[in-house]
Amino acid sequence: MFLSQTHNMNNQLNNQILENASTVSRNLSSEELYELSHKNGEGQLSKHGALVVETGKHTGRSANDKFFVKEDDNKDKIHWGDTNVPISEENYQKIANSFLEFAKGKSIYAHDLMGGADRNHSLKVTIITEYAWHGLFARHLLVRPTSEEVNSFIADFTIINFPSLKMDPNYHGTNSETAIIVNLKEKVILISGTEYAGETKKSVFTLLNFLLPEKQVMPMHCSVNTGNDGSSAIFFGLSGTGKTTLSADPNRSLLGDDEHGWSDEGLFNFEGGCYAKLIRLSQEAEPEIYATTQKKLTVIENAVLKTDGDLDLDDNSLTENTRGAYPLEFIPNVTLNGKTSHPKNIIMLTADAFGVLPPISKLSPSQAMYHFLSGYTAKVAGTEIGLSNEPQATFSTCFGAPFMPRNPIEYGDLLKKKISEHEVDCWLVNTGWIGGVYGVGKRISIKDTRILLNAALSGELANIEMRKDENFGFEVPLNVNKVNSLILNPKNSWSDPIAYDLQAKKLVSMFIENFTKFEDDVDDNVRSSGPVA
């Protein structure tokens, strides 16, 4: 029995999944999915009406459970390695058969959505979900087609997400009962064994990262905003660096907070919503994001509810990765058409827990490519299970290595080309620690970071005297209005300059070691743009 008309599907698996199900609810509204999620017991409602769900043992991505099917059509285009792991076509077929069997007699949901606000470069995706709330999440995070587009919708790819289906590693060839299987030839992604909804969002991102470079469109893990003068800025950064917070500027219009493309026409959002980290969210510091947690239809993952039904966003007993999913229209001052001009500035964010990097530095195009390929930040205790008190350096190529199927050099070369073509100013911004390592120094204040960012975006820093950093070679402003000059030179903020030098030497050596894997593929300018031991 079908509750609504089925559309043409792009392969046999999709048709069989829908035929095996007892009920298929297609393209329900956000309100309908919200009501069904609550009725089905998939989540609780906060006193303000947000849908609060728990995702079980998976409160983040299952990086070790993602595989690409190794087939002749695309095997030479994939950069195989730790983040792009092959699985055989034979094992894919076993997994697909398990999905078909699982669908028998189930009530499932189908959603026709799009990745990419620019219709010249967007990807049509049908998402089939076991849970209604996963459908609501997808409607928030992806671009919702117009009614006319829905009526003529033919999917380019399909994502099938069945959290209750568990894999058998011995039979299916997976690493665990969880699996994210990307089959580029069959144009399908299969997700099982995890309730974490971010897997669906990141699967669309992975597909766009694979497809767009062939069209000379740069896919980016970044946020984007635009000033009143129409000048836009890109913010690269890994989780915890402030990408979402800093791009949500009341004086600038937000395009999107996580995933974008850069075409010959300008920038465009891949998404139709935001997926913000909420742990210890402050109404005072981040009022726009906080307000979304008080709205009906917002989906909140792994937050603790108090007895009065209010959210306790300071409670990390479920995870540090508490998140909220909501459509862009839930926040003020956004660019709802999802498109804007070429950028005038690129900001690369890092949270340096070693206390070494300046709070802002100017990068040349070659230095920008070096730091883009490096993708550095640091993790500290409390952000992930098993981390010690010592900071741990993280290098995630292109600020999104797990979602980049192609060789990183392809993305780096494309970015460098676009920076040169459009004469973009590039900045490395440290939102981490100053005056000492994590546990000794203190974190750079959001207030200071915003002042420095505004100075960069307004052009104020173009006329300020700079010094060359002795460790990394980039330029650092000597003085910026309303900012203590001590923090502009991190060494001066340490009580023990010798201890600073030791930490700087340690961080420099980690950068150099990490970049060895790129040295044979980049030109001399990029190769010489890194730190010197």
pLDDT for 14: 86
The stretches of 86-197 forming alpha helices (DSSP H) are: 89-103, 132-141, 147-151, 169-172
Nearest-Å Rg of the Cα atoms of the chain is 23
As a whole number of angstroms, the distance between CA 222 and CA 212 comes to 16
As a whole number of angstroms, the distance between CA 344 and CA 364 comes to 14
Q: Catalytic amino acids?
A: 61, 202, 221, 239, 243-244, 258, 323
As a whole number of angstroms, the distance between CA 217 and CA 223 comes to 16
Q: Which residues contact 470 (CB under 8 A, 6 or more apart)?
A: none
Dump pLDDT digits (tens) for 168-201. 999 999 999 999 999 999 999 999 999 999 999 9
Smallest CA-to-CA distance from 316 within 419, 385, 377 is with 385
Domains and CATH numbers, the chain: 12-43+60-215 (3.40.449.10), 218-263+342-494 (3.90.228.20), 275-330 (2.170.8.10)
What CA–CA distances, in Å, run from 488 to 167, 301, 357, 391?
Answer: 52, 37, 9, 22
Averaged over successive runs of 10 residues, the pLDDT of the chain (533 residues) comes to: 38 87 97 98 98 97 96 96 96 98 97 97 97 98 96 96 98 98 97 98 97 97 94 93 87 93 98 93 89 97 97 96 96 94 98 97 96 94 50 93 95 96 97 94 95 96 95 97 94 96 97 96 95 88
pLDDT for 487: 94
Two structure tokens written together for 61: 């991505």
Positive or negative: CA dihedral 361, 426, 286, 309: negative
The widest CA-to-CA distance across the chain, in whole angstroms, is 73
pLDDT for 8: 42
Two structure tokens written together for 238: 């890994």
From the number of C-beta atoms within 10 Å of its C-beta (0-12, 13-18, 19+), residue 176 rates as: middle
Do 337 and 493 form a contact (C-beta atoms < 8 A)?
A: no
Q: Is the pTM of this model over 0.85?
A: yes
Two structure tokens written together for 455: 């100075």
As a whole number of angstroms, the distance between CA 141 and CA 298 comes to 11
In sequence order, what are the beta bridge partners of 381?
Answer: none
In sequence order, what are the beta bridge partners of 192?
Answer: 162, 179
User: Which 3-state string (H, E, C) describes 170-232?
Assistant: HHHCCCCCCEEEEECCCCEEEEECCCCCHHHHHHHHHHHHHHHHHHCCEEEEEEEEECCCCCE
Do 94 and 173 form a contact (C-beta atoms < 8 A)?
A: yes
